[in-house]
Amino acid sequence: MGPFHTPQRKNGGYSLIEVLVVLAIIGVLSIAGASMMGNRGGSSVRIVMAELEGAIMDAHKYAVSTGRDVAIVTWGSWDATGVSPTLYMARGVTSIGTTTTLTTSSMAIQDVVINPPSEPTDAQKSVAVVFAPSRSREYMNAGVVVSDTAWWTNAMQANGAGKQNEDITTVEPFLHDASFQATNDSSNNLFRKSLNQVSISGSNKRFNQSFIIQVVSTSGGNALPGGAMGLIVVQNNGATIYKFYNSGVSNGDGKWRRI
């Protein structure tokens, strides 16, 4: 036997270092898994916000590329249990100041005539952009706030640990910008359950109305106190879509940030 020969183990067991390494890996994976599970609501909020932003941007791009007026129309409500009615957003060509007629000129809509307060037919609804929680797992932990619900208020309530999300009106640009203060009002909620619409001018490429969209983390069909929150803001005579996100005090610092 040479002087540098390492004796073999007499059994197939693991060394203390190997055991510690395995435990460390398990611990890291457990923490990562718990974090992902706990922040599922935050991920859902951001996914829903991204889809909403995409739909609005598509409508705006169509107005820019064609020079035609475009309407964004909403109706219905968000049911986190997946039971109808479902939330709808439609877009199409219009003529600002007249009855809105959504036509096949928009790829998202076919022959949908919106004349409030008439409800679109089932056939017309079938060609709209649909936000149905039951159709996507990503939707199951977030919800779009409709103006006749208290979801936004409930999300701002303290969680089980007594912590509360930061009030967005206390941070910039809402704190000192009067235009943002005026826009951030429940009367400007794009989703009102009944038919509602905003328009984009084909001539100046700007939105003709101010509106907001509120998104909250949900659990069991209700807004989660201290959960993640999101806000989309579009201002009258503007062409910018502003997005703000709060990770929530339950799985974050509860602070608002523009994204």
Residue type, 47: I
Residue type, 241: I
CA 27 to chain centre: 32
| pLDDT for 67 | 92
| pLDDT for 8 | 56
Among 45, 101, 48, residue whose Cα is nearest residue 73: 101
Domain ranges, ordered by start, for the chain? 56-258
Six token digits for residue 184: 């951030």
| pLDDT for 23 | 73
105 burial level (CB within 10 Å; 0-12, 13-18, 19+): middle
Per-residue pLDDT of the chain (259 residues; tens, 9 = 90+): 555 555 555 555 667 777 677 777 776 665 544 444 446 778 989 988 998 998 899 889 988 998 988 888 888 787 655 555 578 787 777 766 655 544 444 434 333 444 433 455 555 554 455 555 545 555 678 889 998 889 999 999 999 999 999 999 999 999 999 999 999 999 999 998 887 888 899 999 999 999 999 999 988 778 999 999 999 999 999 999 999 999 999 989 999 999 9
| pLDDT for 71 | 83
| pLDDT for 36 | 43
| pLDDT for 119 | 53
141 burial level (CB within 10 Å; 0-12, 13-18, 19+): buried
